[in-house]
Amino acid sequence: MEHNFAEALKKILRYEGGYVDHPADPGGATNKGITLRTFRRACGRTRTKDDLRNISPGAVARIYRKRYWEVCACDRLPTGIDLIVFDQAVNSGPGRSARWLQKVLGATQDGKIGPRTLRAAARARASDVVTSMCEERLDFLKRARQGTLWPVFGRGWSTRIRAVRKAAMTWIS
């Protein structure tokens, strides 16, 4: 739901933190969950790591809204599902988040949330969708990143998934 964006963004930013440039992170330099690559696409190719380090709260909100919330049609998803789809889009990419939603709903997995996916989401039991999507994400992170990133980031990812799932369930009830 559109009115959920501001609160969803607050929840996401709790887990994204400040500026980091961890050598094991394939995203590279990141601030508030925004990679340098995404920042350059949104704000200009000549932007530097220092520019990213000093990104304004307004720019952060605009990037999250345009590149994640709107791309995943979160403003048209049921409450609770919107938060999970948004969080997963930020952490694993909008296309992957859309495919996880579509898989859970039994919809065609094309990576784009359109009218059919939205109708299926509206008919689904939100708590079941939230639970299943969180399980899909955790399984993916364990499988795909087992050898390299899971030992470094797995604990934080698990904590984040549990916390965002809990918040989404609170929104549903």
pLDDT number for residue 25: 74
Tokens representing 150 are: 């899971």
Q: What is the distance of C-alpha 156 from the center of its chain? A: 15
Bridge pairing between strands 30-31 and 34-35: antiparallel
Question: Please, what is the average pLDDT of the chain?
Answer: 92
Residues 3-33 have pLDDT tens digits of 899 999 999 999 888 998 988 777 789 999 9
Phi, psi of 31 (to 5 degrees): -135, 130
Instruction: Band the pLDDT of 144: cuts 50, 70, 90.
Output: low
Q: Is residue 145 scored above 60 in pLDDT? A: no
Tokens representing 122 are: 């509206």
Between CA 110 and CA 38 the distance in angstroms is 22
Architecture of domain 2-172: Up-down Bundle (1.20)
How much is the average pLDDT of 153-163?
Answer: 89
pLDDT number for residue 16: 87
Among residues 92, 91, 172, 90, the alpha carbon closest in space to that of 130 is found at: 172
Compare 23 and 158 and report the one with higher pLDDT.
158
Contact 28, 36 (CB under 8 A): yes
pLDDT number for residue 11: 93
Between CA 60 and CA 137 the distance in angstroms is 24
